[in-house]
Structure 1
Amino acid sequence: MRPSPASPPIPPSPRPPVTLRTEPDPGDAATAPLWRAAQAFRLITLLYAIGQQFASVSHYTNQRLSWVFIALMAVWTGVSAILLSQWRIHNVRRVRTAVVIGDHVVVIALIFATRLVADFDWYYGHQTLPTTLWAANAVMSAAILWGPFGGVCSGFLIAAAILSARARWDLDIWRDATAPVLVSVGLAIGLAANTAHRAQQQLQRAVRLTAAAQERERLAREVHDGVLQVLSYIKRRGTEIGGPTAELAQRAGEQEVALRVLLSEQGGRADTGGVEQDLRPLLTAQATTSVLVSTPGEPVPIGRFEAREISAAVAAALANVAQHAGSGAKAYVLLEDTGDELIVSVRDDGPGISAGRLREAEGQGRMGVSRSIIGRIAAIDGTAHLLFEADGEEGTGAEWEFRVPRQQR
């Protein structure tokens, strides 16, 4: 039996080329100006460190080695400034994290290298080889990348390295401004970075809402010119013809209302998943051809439990209208936000509720109104009132008013 020839090795698939971005990532766009400003500061502090080198080199015990360290400082300044100021490179945050960590390693190494080029009498009373001003670059980078906590920790770390290299762990430490300056820089830059991130998030949210509103208006115009007009025509003609087409007219009317509600809520009333939610969608979802819902144009945020209880109470009131007011009755739901309290009104044009009917039903053990309506509103510290009772005359109707106080935020 002849062995089968060995199959040729499969060449590895080529890696996709790294594509450069033409604009910064939204998460990095907020701090891009801070990174550029920090690198400009880095170059300025390098010039100061070189000037300090010229002023101090005559006091060093190993002058040639000190110039080697200054050259290393200049090379690292250029490399780190280029890497930290770029946003077009792939995995920019990972690159910046590596550079910031390397920044701390280089700074601390140069700080302790001062003992290799100067004696105790010099470095105890003077700045280290990399001046405090140049060492602050590592603190600024950490603050931009990791926020105020990272900036403060970096400030303490660099300050501890400087004080250790200078052997200043004595009573003179309280007269040394190294630690307060570095920690303050880390805190201030970190807070500025956090503020920039929040501002960028708010800007992105505003842009998304604006784009959603424009798309909603465009979609509403197109739907209104087509689908809504057809549904309205079917509803009108089906009602006029009557008979079996009446049910078709009713279904078309319901879909027309549902579509109008969907268009009015698209993009502007999304649930953000927080502790509060907009009450308006919960009420407008109950709109039908016989139930008209009116809400404010602005969001009405309220606690999730309160929103569910108000919506359930309104649903119970509308169920009573459908059950007792007849099939031809209309109901109207109105939501008002006064700032101090929410007012929800549910009114119908049916025969109304006769005087004493609620107390009579409760005495008979029928707790639908007292529990489903009054009890729900009372559970959220609100009040539910039947504003007027009728004597059974057609068209008089009934009106419930729910008042729920706003919680102090």
Structure 2
Amino acid sequence: MRPAQATEPDPADAATAPLWRAVQAFRLVTLAYAVGQQIASVQYYENQRLSWVFIALMVIWSGISALLLAQWHTPDTVRTRALVTLGDHLVVLGLIAATPLVADYAWYHGHQPLPTTMWSANAVISAAILRGPLAGVASGLLIAATIITMRQQWGEDVWADATAPVLVSVGLALGLAANTARRAQEQLQRAVRLTAAAEERERLARQVHDGVLQILAYIKRRGDEIGGPATELAHRAGEQEIALRRLVSEQGGDRADPGDTTVDLRPLLTAHSAPRVVVSTPGEPVRIGRWTAQEITAATAAALTNVELHAGPEARAYVLLEDTGTELIVSIRDDGVGIPPGRLTEAENEGRMGVSRSITGRLTALGGVAELLTAGTVGEGTEWEFRVPRS
């Protein structure tokens, strides 16, 4: 037999479980209140024996519902809670409608019917926790309307009765609390998954670095030293080393949570690593807005394309990402031939907008700046510095 797979608990069940336990305590308190009201009012009933039968039904249902809600490990917890909620409404509405069977009109027109308002609130609370504030408010209005109809108080007296405001307020408040608890539980589980993925990624990265990456780096270094036919082997090993480093850095990045509005900029820049392109990023995630990250990455790609086209066949490029807390700094430096004086202005006058639009235009749109630190120098390479404010 295959071992049973552990499944992640339903966020709704885990989040609202404390509320359902609190409901049981509230049910016990309101049941005691209802029994006390029965003892105080039974002398005014015309059919006292039948009234005790109804109170007994209330006690029996309270016990059954408590036992059902106590089964936290049932195969379908949501279905069990839905059945309890439905039973609450049937019992409450049935007892309210049965009030004329035990008391005359003069009494129940001016007093609360069976059951009392507090025990009736159990049905409203169950609906609110199960389905949210709309269900809670609807349940409160239904029970309040039934009470008002049975007491025939659809005149001016309805505004002096606190039954409807109490039930509706309880349904609204508990429904909002249940929804908030569910959202908090979902966010907690998402954070746990992201943390676990990050820890696993770091563990795999260490293992890969201690084994495969070191071997590939050794083959590349020795192949370059030997020369001749081994140069091709060194080149291939260097390509695979870069590809493997890129794969390790990308694992568990922003893919871990596609619905998030921010992404980690590091794997987006690391994806541009190549045998002649070295990318260095911080050890901690650099999370920024998706659009900002895409624009920075695009500007970096444009700068690296210029290196490939104009810096010379042997030029190497170095990309450095820094996060100061208030701004992001991306430096792209190469050891190529450099840019002659006035070349950028000349290219722009000729209609070549690669730098002005793909680089400086993007950074300006982000509220940042793209500065060419080596403008007008020849033979010393080229260095761009992108600065983007964190805000």
TM over 0.5: yes
The amino acid across from 1:335 in the alignment is L
Residue number in structure 2 paired with 1:6:
none
- Does residue 116 of structure 2 align to residue 106 of structure 1? no
- Does residue 290 of structure 2 align to residue 303 of structure 1? yes
- Does residue 127 of structure 2 align to residue 142 of structure 1? yes
CA deviations on 1:139-196 (whole Å, 9 max, x unpaired) are: 1111111122222222222222222222222323333221222122222222221222
| SS of residue matched to 2:337 | coil
* Offset at residue 90 of structure 1 (A): 2.0
Residue number in structure 2 paired with 1:389:
375
Residue number in structure 2 paired with 1:42:
27
CA deviations on 1:294-332 (whole Å, 9 max, x unpaired) are: 33413322133x432321221111011122222332322
- Does residue 44 of structure 2 align to residue 59 of structure 1? yes
Distance 2:140 2:86 in 1: 13
Percent identity of paired positions between Structure 1 and Structure 2: 68
Pair 1:374–1:262, CA change in 2 (3 A): same
Q: Normalising to structure 1: TM-score of the pair?
A: 0.86
- 1:399 aligned residue (368, 383, 387): 383
Query: Is this contact kept in 2: 1:351–1:390, CA < 8 A?
Result: no
Distance 1:206 1:406 in 2: 23
CA deviations on 1:260-313 (whole Å, 9 max, x unpaired) are: 333334335435234443333221111223222233413322133x43232122
Q: Please, which moves more after superposition, 321-330 or 231-240?
A: 321-330
- 2:157 aligned residue (165, 172, 182): 172
1:113-132 mapped onto 2 (5 Å cutoff): 113-132=98-117
| SS of residue matched to 2:273 | coil
* Offset at residue 227 of structure 1 (A): 0.9
- 1:289 aligned residue (253, 275, 291): 275
Query: Is this contact kept in 1: 2:342–2:376, CA < 8 A?
Result: no
- Does residue 265 of structure 2 align to residue 279 of structure 1? yes
- Does residue 175 of structure 2 align to residue 213 of structure 1? no
- Does residue 216 of structure 2 align to residue 263 of structure 1? no
1:308-327 mapped onto 2 (5 Å cutoff): 308-327=294-313
Residue number in structure 2 paired with 1:163:
148
Gaps of at least 5 residues in structure 1 are: 1-18
Query: Is this contact kept in 1: 2:220–2:238, CA < 8 A?
Result: yes
CA deviations on 1:88-141 (whole Å, 9 max, x unpaired) are: 222221232232123212211211211221112111221111111100101111
- 1:377 aligned residue (345, 363, 366): 363
- Does residue 223 of structure 2 align to residue 238 of structure 1? yes
The amino acid across from 2:274 in the alignment is T
Pair 1:107–1:299, CA change in 2 (3 A): farther
Residue number in structure 2 paired with 1:350:
336
1:183-198 mapped onto 2 (5 Å cutoff): 183-198=168-183
Name the count of aligned residue pairs.
385
| SS of residue matched to 1:30 | helix
CA deviations on 1:235-267 (whole Å, 9 max, x unpaired) are: 111111122322321222232233233333433
- 1:248 aligned residue (233, 238, 253): 233
Give the aligned CA root-mean-square deviation in angstroms. Answer: 2.5
Distance 2:221 2:354 in 1: 36
Gaps of at least 5 residues in structure 2 are: none
CA deviations on 1:216-237 (whole Å, 9 max, x unpaired) are: 2332232223211211111111
